[in-house]
């Protein structure tokens, strides 16, 4: 296997993409009718479970992208990467505890790193909402006074 990886390293990319979709967006597999779970479950329960996981992860990834986009200067991004690196180093100690669950082994490190970025994205959305509300109030007061 190691020789195969050295000879064809790009074959890992499709597998990584497949695993990412499988772990974070499992409803995609249900739509494609791919077997995700070995344990037979009622279809409706599986759809609800997969849909909930997919929705939560979609919100988390979109929020993280929005938060990362809010970091405008390279210094901010370097500082935030340093913070995420510190969080990752702290979490590495607890990774053996999550090895009982395959999903936790793949997703737990990503969740720990995505959550601060998502919080930054939520903060950015709230600031933008406050800014637009303040602008609309100022326009309303300007129209009332003029």
- Taking only the tens of pLDDT, the chain with its 146 residues reads 677 777 877 877 787 777 778 888 888 877 766 555 555 566 678 788 888 888 988 998 998 888 888 887 888 888 888 888 887 777 776 666 666 666 666 677 778 778 888 888 888 888 888 888 887 777 777 776 55
Instruction: Tell me the C-alpha distance between 59 and 56, whole Å.
Output: 5
Q: State pTM to two decimals.
A: 0.65
**88-118, pLDDT tens digit by residue?**
777 776 666 666 666 666 677 778 778 888 8
Query: Is residue 119 within 8 Å of residue 67, measured between CB atoms?
Result: yes
Instruction: Tell me the C-alpha distance between 49 and 57, whole Å.
Output: 12
Neighbours of 57 (CB within 10 A): 19
Read off the DSSP letter of residue 72. -
> What are the residue ranges spanned by the domains of the chain?
2-145
């Amino acid at each position: 296997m190691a020789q195969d990886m050295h000879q064809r390293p790009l074959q890992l990319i499709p597998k990584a993409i497949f695993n990412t979709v499988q772990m974070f967006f499992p409803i995609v597999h249900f739509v494609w009718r791919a077997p995700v779970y070995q344990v037979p479950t009622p279809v409706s329960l599986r759809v609800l479970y997969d849909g909930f996981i997919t929705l939560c992860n979609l919100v988390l990834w979109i929020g993280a992208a929005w938060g990362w986009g809010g970091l405008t200067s390279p210094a901010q991004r370097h500082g935030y990467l340093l913070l995420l690196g510190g969080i990752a180093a702290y979490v590495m100690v607890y990774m053996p505890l999550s090895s009982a669950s395959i999903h936790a082994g793949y997703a737990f490190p990503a969740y720990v790193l995505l959550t601060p970025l998502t919080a930054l994205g939520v903060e950015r959305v709230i600031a933008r909402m406050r800014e637009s509300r303040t602008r609309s109030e100022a326009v309303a007061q300007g129209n009332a006074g003029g």
